[in-house]
Structure 1
């Protein structure tokens, strides 16, 4: 039996807390010094021999997105920083904006990590995760 990750409970707690504030205009994380991290919207589809995850990440470049698969956990992170400067004779104005998205998904079944692929087009990230064949999955242990 697999052990449950205690950090999943913490993440679930913050997701519920955030959803409670959504009806009241949202929880302004930046006002509390928590940065501009937002939860990424995803779809997880089970298509025969693979899972397909579709995630919205508008405005990011593909080099700003990191996708990782570890065991049965898929993690997607996107981060970007923008800055602009406006100079005139009497003042200098410099504005910076940082935005990040993060999402971790527990997959229902093991996947072939080496065969995972991802595409990014028009702000939509599509990740294809081939399921691990139950007959060949895992590692065979030789008995001495």
Structure 2
């Protein structure tokens, strides 16, 4: 009699693998479901001068990416192609996503849509959108009570002394 260690998640993992294979089989045909095979993760942040988006799209080339700005909407489309060097039946597991993707982002009116910079490094597509100059914060000096009056008197005395 063999003793087998009990794993409470064994059946769950088997079920997950079966469901994944069913979805993969369903998506292999030429159906509308294949138009967006995966959705790359994105980070969006901003500072005083620009809005930055970083999309994870490893294994893609520049020619496979299409970036457009139209009517304050930024769209990023692309396609990650399956490497045909290896036959699909030789794989034990395919977890990376292949096919096309599409992401759209509504841009705030403070962004200068004419000045968008894109760079691609280590599988991350970085889009930098500069803000319009009028949307950038401006520093305003505040004079407080009698201190402002004292500074004004000093400036007057300096001007009188310079004459």
CA distance in 2: counterparts of 1:38 and 1:30, whole angstroms: 15
SS, match of residue 38 in structure 2: strand
Q: 1:107 to 1:85 in 2, by over 3 A?
A: closer
Listed one character per residue, the Cα deviations across residues 91-130 of structure 1 (whole Å, up to 9, x for unaligned) are xx9xxx9511211111233422221100001110000001
Report deviation, 1:43. Answer: 0.9
Aligned length: 103
State the TM-score, normalized to the length of structure 1: 0.58
State the TM-score, normalized to the length of structure 2: 0.52
- More helix by proportion, 1 or 2? 2
Report deviation, 1:45. Answer: 0.6
Q: Kindly indicate whether the alpha-carbon contact (under 8 Å) linking 1:71 and 1:111 is maintained by their aligned counterparts in 2.
A: no
CA distance in 1: counterparts of 2:77 and 2:23, whole angstroms: 20
Match of 2:111 in 1: 111
Q: Which has the larger radius of gyration?
A: 2
Match of 2:71 in 1: 71
Match of 2:149 in 1: none
SS, match of residue 109 in structure 1: coil
Match of 1:124 in 2: 124
The gaps in structure 1 that reach 5 residues or longer are 1-24, 87-92, 136-144
SS, match of residue 114 in structure 1: strand
Q: 1:42 to 1:133 in 2, by over 3 A?
A: same
The gaps in structure 2 that reach 5 residues or longer are 1-18, 90-96, 136-163
- More strand by proportion, 1 or 2? 1
